[in-house]
Amino acid sequence: MKKILIGAVLYIITAPFCLAQVHWLNVDSLYGSLPTSVHVFTTTDLIDGKPNIAFYVIADLKDLKLSFTTDTTLNRRITPQQFYEKNQQPLLIVNGTFFDFATNRNLNAVIKNGKLVSYNVHTTALKGKDTLLYMHTFRSAIGITKKRKADVAWLYTDSSARFAKAFQQVPGFYKDSFAVVTQKGLLQRSSKWNMQTAISGGPVLIQNTKIAVSNNEEHMFSGKAIDDKHPRTAMGYRADGKLIILVVQGRMPGIAEGATLTELAKLLLDLGCVEALNLDGGGSSCMLVNGKETIKPSDKEGQRPVPAVFIIEENK
C-alpha cells in the first residue's frame, strides 16, 4: 500500500505541467436551441504535440429549468442515440459506466430518482498464483443531491441497502479469501451517500482542486495503460455549482489521438473543476447535445451500445 500512496503523490506534483492550457471556442450555435445556463465548447489545440479534438458542456446545477438524471438497460446495451429517443429527446446524453462485453452487464453504480439501479462490482476472483483469493475494490462516482450539490466519492454499494456508502478519501483495494467485502473497520469509515442522481466509473482525476489520479487505489488500468492516449469521457464540477462534461476524440491518427488520464485531468483542472472523475472511454465515448454528436466515436460502426448514460433534460 505504501507504493500505491507514493504513486498518487507523484501524480499530484508532476501532472499540472504535462501540457499547456488549451483554448476553447463556444459552439452553441451548432447545437440548436440551448438554455441560457448551458453552453458547448470545443478545441482543436494540440495535446502533448498531438492532434486533438475535444468538447465540453457546462451546465448550471442551480438552474431549476434543468433536470439531471440517468438511464440504464438490463443485461443489454443500446446506443446513445437510442437512449436519446427512449428518453424523449433530452438536451444531453453522455455515456457513463464500464461494462462486461460478454454479458452486457453494467459494472458500476447508477442512481436514478434517488434509487440505486445498478451496483459496483466489489469482488473479483483472482487467478494464477492468487487462485482462491479475491480482489475487493471501491470505484468512484459523481452524484448530485436533491439540493443540486455535486460530489465525487468512492462507493460501496450493497443490493440489500437503500443507499450507497461513500468514502471521501480513497480507500484503496485489498485481497482476502472471502467472496464478499468483510472489512467492517474499512466500511465504518464510509457514510451514507444520499444522492438523487449518480453515475460511476473511475478513476478519480481531481480531488480538492488538485490532480490526484486514483488509478492504483481503484485498481483500474494496469501497467502503463494510464499513459496511453484514448478517447475519453469525464465529468466534474466547479465551486460555483457548474457541472462540466468533457469528451475527447481519439484513436484517429493524424486527426485526433486522444488523451492520457493525466492529460484528461489537466483539461478538467484548467476548466476549474474542484473534483472530477473518468468514465468509460475508448469506443464508448460519445456525447449528444440535442441529438447531435460532438466528438466522432472511434468504433468504425459508429456509436457503441452502452448500458448506462447520464442525462440533462430541459423542463418544459
Q: What is the pLDDT of residues 143-195, one digit of tens each?
A: 999 999 999 999 999 999 999 999 999 999 999 999 999 999 999 999 999 99
Whole-number pLDDT of residue 224? 84
Does 201 have pLDDT greater than 80? Answer: yes
Whole-number pLDDT of residue 6? 30
SS (H, E, C) the chain: CHHHHHHHHHHHHHHHHCCCCCCCEECHHHHCCCCCCEEEEEECCCECCECCCEEEEEEECCCCCEEEEEEECCCCCECHHHHHHHCCCCCEEEECCCECCCCCCECCCEEECCEEEECCCCEEECCHHHCCCEEECCCEEEEECCCCCEEEEEEECCCCCCCEEEECCCCCCEEECCCCCCCHHHHCCCEEECCCEEEECCCEEEECCEECCCHHHHCCCCCCHHHCCECEEEEEEECCCEEEEEEECCCECCCECCECHHHHHHHHHHCCEEEEEEECCHHHCCEEECCEECCCCCCCCCCCCECEEEEEEECC
Does 4 have pLDDT greater than 70? Answer: no
Does 316 have pLDDT greater than 90? Answer: no
Query: Residues with Cβ < 8 Å from 43, sequence gap 6 or more?
Result: 22, 23, 24, 25, 52, 53, 54
Task: Grade residue 223 by pLDDT with cuts at 50, 70 and 90.
Answer: confident
